[in-house]
Amino acid sequence: MFPKGIAVIALTTRGVETAAKISAALEKLEIKTNVYSPEQCIQGWATPIDVRLSEFVKDIVGKVDAIIAVMATGIIVRAIAPCLKSKLTDPAVVCVDVSGRFAISLLSGHYGGANELTKIIAREIGATPVITTASDVLGKTSVDEVARLLNFKIQNPESLVAVNSALVNDKRMVLILVGNVQIPETVVGYEVKRVNTSEHAAVLLEDFDAGAIISEKPMSTEKLPKPATILTPKKIVVGVGARKNASENQIIAAVDSALARVNLPVERVNRLATVDIKKDSPSMVSAAEKLGLPIDFVSVDALRSVKYAGLSPDSKLVTEKIGVGGVCERAALIIAGKNANLILKKMKMNGVTVAIAEAK
């Protein structure tokens, strides 16, 4: 979650105190943050801002996944407005008052994760969460929230307004699964149907007011009889590192725990990845077989070549043993492909390390 990190911006001394509290809480959850404020307010907790807020926001948009603005809503709204492009690319923006009483989801509530971030902040600092998106208020899952939760690409974003409008207006909704795609039982507001082909999906859509179609491959939208959003899975790779004596069950338990953290079923994973010295590891090979996943073995030289700003600090022990500072994150990123992102940084469990990467 939020692999590029979060900028926490405060403009007053009291605001910096609240920003520091938010940052500390998120860091405990392994969510990377940086606090920024004008020089006269930094109090040793923040990086100074030496330009106008609008200029700073313009510069930082695109470099972070989210902005937490500890200030009045009007201030951040005016600063962020000129930077907005699309609900699929804009950062999540959450506004918190300087006393930390309210956390308000302002922008990119669903696909950007602002609603989820608002809930996390509220829980961690004792604030009241304020979320106004209609689907959340009604206890339903919007299509863009489905895409974010399950790491799907949205093929036709122009459909979102019509489909989400139908959802919040209590129209008859369908979620059509094409082929063998799998989803957890956390999607509310849709009848879930399964068909064999995209042609069958279009026919089934006739019986509903709107819906979403989840397909392994992009599909034509020209002949869809009703508003429908097409979702296609992003490639998901789980990187694994393990001590020599790690058992098959320990590896499986660590992978299951990692997937649970990002709410992904194992069926959504495309491959496992690890270092090539594990080719002859019975526990690693057997664990992959039990999970039902193909496994790729990556050379140490390839692992060393990975350039990614969010890598966890190198392990001295791993460096001494195999010649590179870490396995799981690097292996996952390599197999996920160019411009991949970590959606779960390295976690450790019983001598096993796991990280999860998704294709861009």
- Sequence ranges of the domains in the chain: 6-132, 143-233, 236-358
Return the ∠ at Cα 125 (arms to 23 and 5), rounded to 5°.
25
pLDDT for the residue 30: 81
Decide: residue 183, CB within 10 A, 0-12 exposed, 13-18 middle, 19+ buried: buried
pLDDT for the residue 257: 95
What CATH number should be reported for the domain whose range is 6-132?
Answer: 3.40.50.11220
Residue 179, Ramachandran bin (φ over 0: left; ψ between -120 and 50: alpha; else beta): left
Q: Could you tell me which of 70, 67, 13 has the C-alpha nearest to residue 45? A: 13
pLDDT for the residue 326: 95
Edge-to-edge order in the sheet of strand 33-38? 47-49, 33-38, 6-10, 66-70, 92-96, 102-107, 128-130
Q: Could you tell me which of 153, 128, 147 has the C-alpha nearest to residue 217? A: 153
What CATH number should be reported for the domain whose range is 236-358?
Answer: 3.30.420.180
pTM: 0.70
pLDDT for the residue 185: 64
What the block records as the tokens of 315 is: 């392990």
CA distance 194 to 241: 36
Q: Which amino acid is at 214?
A: I
φ/ψ of residue 9, rounded to 5: -115, 130
**Bridging pattern class, strands 271-275 and 295-298:** parallel
Architecture of the domain delimited by 143-233: 3-Layer(aba) Sandwich (3.40)
CA distance 231 to 143: 9
| Equal fold, 6-132 vs 236-358 | no
For each of the chain's 360 residues, which pLDDT tens digit applies? 787 889 999 999 999 999 999 999 999 888 889 999 998 888 888 999 999 999 999 999 988 999 999 999 999 999 999 999 888 889 999 999 999 999 999 999 888 889 999 999 999 999 999 998 877 766 788 888 888 877 889 999 999 999 999 998 999 999 999 988 877 666 777 888 999 998 999 999 999 999 999 998 888 888 899 999 999 988 999 999 999 899 999 999 999 999 988 878 888 899 999 999 999 999 999 999 999 999 999 999 999 999 988 899 999 989 989 999 999 999 999 999 988 989 899 999 999 999 999 987
